[in-house]
Structure 1
Amino acid sequence: MDAMGFGMGNCCLQVYLIVDRLQMALSAASPFYRGYVSDIDCRWGVISASVDDRTGEERGLEPLKSNKFRILKSRYDSIDSYLSSCGDKYNDIDLTIDEEINKQLLDAGIDKLLAQHIAHLFIRDPLSLFEEKIHLDDENESDHFENLQSTNWQTMRFKPPPPNSDIGWRVEFRPMEVQLTDFENSAYVVFIVLLTRVILSYKLDFLIPLSKVDENMKVAQERNAVQEGMFYFRKDIYKGCNPVLDSSSAAQNGLDSEGDNEYILMSIDTIINGKEGVFQGLIPILNCYLENMEVDVDTRCTILNYLKLIKRRASGELMTIAKWMREFVDKHTQYKQDSVITDKINYDLLRKCDSISKGEERCPELFGDPVNRGK
């Protein structure tokens, strides 16, 4: 599993937009690898290790001699810095950057946070290079930049538009796992899109220290994290942004006691559906937003079906794909409680998944009963 060819690229549901790692736990769908049952429900850590090309020196196992940087994470990992002024004070993890690149960008008038983000990308070597793409006009082509940009696989990716293009500035939201059906995939995508609209309209603030985001990332991949995991989440999302113009001391020394009280541990059910006296819940906030929007009946019905799926998976009323797959294997006549997925078990599972994805077979444990698959 130290190469790209074992199917990991088929596990991701990617959106060009912007919530937290809880979406990975909520969409968990990767519990099996190379014919074995694993103790995780999501793909992220597996892929991170599979494409980790750091040397012993870069990993800190040996003194730096041949290499230039001590690199704390794999190419495929969680984000290392916030780019907004509001998030600057929450950048509380070490960020390795190429100082020469950083200075060049700052001298050219690039924003400090964006400059250090780009300088962080450039601490790594390119993975591949095509002969016809070596000699390019960098004023009119961005392939040299994209060579490094596109091989830093983080949970979020900031994507500047290519030169001479009408493509806008984009952000990829990358933690989610692909689902069995178009209905599920649409539900997760619409949930994220709606949430971005609500964040902009209500000026919501979900920022927490990046060190806590990394902790959430680890929890989100654990088995049945959607029901058993606890995640750091902001208590008051209406408080709004309070940017710190010079937050270098905050990043070095950590947040003050007031900052520590901005977030608490919550279950996914509490975050998504709300809990009285703790948190309002994202679904109720989205419903409030929709009630104040002019949406036609058919569209509203479709969206409500999507949100209902998210709501019921968060509460545990419906299974995640990962949990459903585990139960299928556990109940299979050939399974011997030894973590081995035989060819027969694998074949039967794939046949079952195929039938469900085509709509030939209902699965109330995943979608509820009944469910309007057209919505």
Structure 2
Amino acid sequence: MGLLSQGSPLGWEDTKRYADHVRKHGIVQFLNIYNKVKERQKDVLKWGDEVEYMLMAVDEENEKVQLVLRGSEVLQTLQEKGEKINPNHPTLWRPEYGSYMIEGTPGQPYGGNMSDFNTVEDNMGKRRREALSVLKENETLGTITSFPRLGCPGFTLPECEPTPVERGASKSLFFPDEAINRHPRFSTLTRNIRHRRGEKVVINVPIFKDQSTPSPFVETFPGDDGESVRAALPDHIYMDAMGFGMGNCCLQVTFQACSISEARYLYDQLATICPIVMALSAASPFYRGYVSDIDCRWGVISASVDDRTREERGLEPLKNNKFRIHKSRYDSIDSYLSSCGEKYNDIELTKDEEINKQLLDAGIDKLLAQHIAHLFIRDPLSLFMEKINLDDENESDHFENIQSTNWQTMRFKPPPPNSDIGWRVEFRPMEVQLTDFENSAYVVFIVLLTRVILSYKLDFLIPLSKVDENMKVAQKRNAVLEGMFYFRKDIFKGSNPVIDGASATPNGLENSDNGGSSLEEYTLMSIDTIINGKEGVFQGLIPILNCYLANMEVDVDTRCTILNYLKLIKKRASGELMTMAKWMREFVAKHPQYKQDSVITDKINYDLLLKCNRIAKGEEGCPELIGDPVSRNK
């Protein structure tokens, strides 16, 4: 979740007063870090994953599943049994936005050995068993991206009422403040986003129009003072709180690069892959008890933390604000960072010109300077009294305050001050999957892809405006099979000079398209073509990964594991296996209680999540979702 400071949180007006102070010292802290480690080379390739979980209670008598609001208690127990008594404990546990959520990571990062791919699923299995072992008898752990009835009456245990008119963090009609993690950072973020914006956040998700769905679909909101009914769009599911986005779960991977130039190169290359993998991992078709017409959470979470004022959104002339800002602070990246990416930076980049000049004068190159100056158009959203005056030489809280609340598809992460951690990039668009096998498959696929990008000097770059178009397509219902995505045709032509000692184009993978202009560099492709290849169009990422594996020394067990994972990705891309979003839709559509009215009742939710729980625990197979893998946890 980013920076977690302890102390006395400031309200919005006080935070606003210190905004320039935070930005000023944040830039000084960045420059101090940069100047100390800019020449650093030969850091080891390390990586790790983050899986977010929901705590759920199963009420068999009333056939109801609720979210359990005791994440802090469970987290404390897990930490006391693990890292606090053994610094080398194989798992680490961290808080997340929802008081029903926890986040688990491996205790130590994985390294550059291929055999590490063989331990990912084992470690995820350990995390799941560890967390389950401290839950009550009627409780379970879910890796569900979006809880289908989040925001419906009685969705939490204990049941809590929203407080739309009282003093509270979100003032939501649906999402009670008790469902927000008790750490002051989270409620402060929630409150300050609302105060800075000048109104509640507005999330409108198109509803899936089934046979009996009212048309137009229009809701009434008891307890509304008029704000929500003005904000809600017809034929859309309306939500009004940060918790509807940040209260979802995701799967993320962070990589340590060998140097800053390698990190920048990876950041750019992976940015183009984000929409493809998001559509491949689609797992969130339901919101606030309704069936939606989208399969991914991205737009929901983007709107849930959109703190831009009306002026910044371009709805009113600039008067009290400095910038017209084109996106929420949770969105796709806005500029490439490597020299080979510069010519593809074709979207308008709003940046703080003073900060940009300060960075350039300090010796930062143009691309990195504008990236930081763009992040720093944002205000700090959460500030603690005890963290205002810091030692800029040895601390980075002010830099991280802004950096960690720019939640983009990729994050470029400088090393913390005085640490042995290197330059890192974080891959952030994936939806969490039901089973440890699936989550491991997506993680291994992305990590293996980074190895191949570096070894073969691959170039996936296309204009950033096309990546943004891909992000929009990726969220649509069944985008994995029906969406068309801009993708580069010849990924071997770019051969980036910043990567030292990488091998040439692998045998058998040369692209026959050696043609000319930038307009011919990319074309629209299906995800099946991008992942599996199509003769005369594109080689396919899986064949390239297979070629890489064939040239590597890999033990038989690890090779079988990796091929098992790649088979899942391959079949999801071709449609032979369903995404979790499609599987959940089909489950609801066939449920005897479903009335073709786009409504997910408590009973439908109960049956769906009980089946999900059995599959996740390995008690029941699901060939249409995951095939018949040789799971390492069976």
With the shorter chain as reference, the TM-score category is over 0.9
1:338 maps to amino acid: D
| 1:266 equivalent in structure 2 | 525
CA separation of 1:259/1:215 partners in 2, compared to 1, >3 Å: closer, same or farther? same
Deviation at 1:285, TM superposition (A): 0.4
Equivalence map 1:117-196=2 (5 Å): 117-196=371-450
Residue of 589, 603, 619 corresponding to 1:330: 589
1:72-115 Cα shifts (integer Å, max 9, x gaps): 00011000000000000000000000001001100000111011
| 1:295 equivalent in structure 2 | 554
| 1:80 equivalent in structure 2 | 334
Residue of 277, 281, 293 corresponding to 1:27: 281
Residue of 241, 249, 257 corresponding to 1:3: 241
Give the TM-score normalised by structure 2: 0.56
Q: Tell me how large the CA RMSD over aligned residues is.
A: 1.3
Deviation at 1:7, TM superposition (A): 6.3
Deviation at 1:284, TM superposition (A): 0.4
1:126-163 Cα shifts (integer Å, max 9, x gaps): 11011221111111100000001000000000000111
Residue of 3, 16, 41 corresponding to 2:254: 16
**What count of residue pairs does the alignment treat as equivalent?**
361
Higher strand residue share: 2
Deviation at 1:367, TM superposition (A): 1.0
1:202 maps to amino acid: Y
For the residue of structure 1 that corresponds to 2:349, the secondary structure is: coil
Higher relative contact order (CA 8 A, sep 6+): 1
1:179 maps to amino acid: Q
1:224 maps to amino acid: N
When structure 1 is superposed on structure 2, of 345-354 and 227-236 the one drifting more is 345-354
**CA distance in structure 1 between the partners assigned to 2:338 and 2:396 by the alignment:** 24
Residue of 611, 614, 617 corresponding to 1:358: 617
**CA distance in structure 2 between the partners assigned to 1:146 and 1:341 by the alignment:** 40
CA separation of 1:9/1:157 partners in 2, compared to 1, >3 Å: closer, same or farther? farther
8 Å contact kept, 2:244–2:301: no
| 2:629 equivalent in structure 1 | 371
**CA distance in structure 2 between the partners assigned to 1:13 and 1:115 by the alignment:** 29
**CA distance in structure 1 between the partners assigned to 2:365 and 2:394 by the alignment:** 22
1:258-282 Cα shifts (integer Å, max 9, x gaps): 1111000000000000011111110
**CA distance in structure 2 between the partners assigned to 1:39 and 1:282 by the alignment:** 29
* 1:316 matched to 2:575: yes
Deviation at 1:5, TM superposition (A): 2.5
8 Å contact kept, 2:435–2:615: yes
| 1:248 equivalent in structure 2 | none
For the residue of structure 2 that corresponds to 1:265, the secondary structure is: strand
**CA distance in structure 2 between the partners assigned to 1:10 and 1:365 by the alignment:** 24
Equivalence map 1:57-136=2 (5 Å): 57-136=311-390
| 1:253 equivalent in structure 2 | none
Give the TM-score normalised by structure 1: 0.94
**CA distance in structure 2 between the partners assigned to 1:323 and 1:80 by the alignment:** 30
Q: Give the percent of matched residue pairs that are identical in Structure 1 and Structure 2.
A: 88
Deviation at 1:350, TM superposition (A): 1.0
For the residue of structure 2 that corresponds to 1:356, the secondary structure is: helix
8 Å contact kept, 1:159–1:169: yes
Deviation at 1:299, TM superposition (A): 0.3
Residue of 258, 283, 304 corresponding to 2:563: 304
**CA distance in structure 1 between the partners assigned to 2:385 and 2:537 by the alignment:** 57
Deviation at 1:241, TM superposition (A): 4.7
1:125 maps to amino acid: D
**Radius of gyration: which is bigger?**
2
For the residue of structure 2 that corresponds to 1:129, the secondary structure is: coil
- The runs of at least 4 consecutive aligned structure 1 residues that moved more than 3 Å come to 6-10
1:374 maps to amino acid: R
8 Å contact kept, 1:11–1:43: no
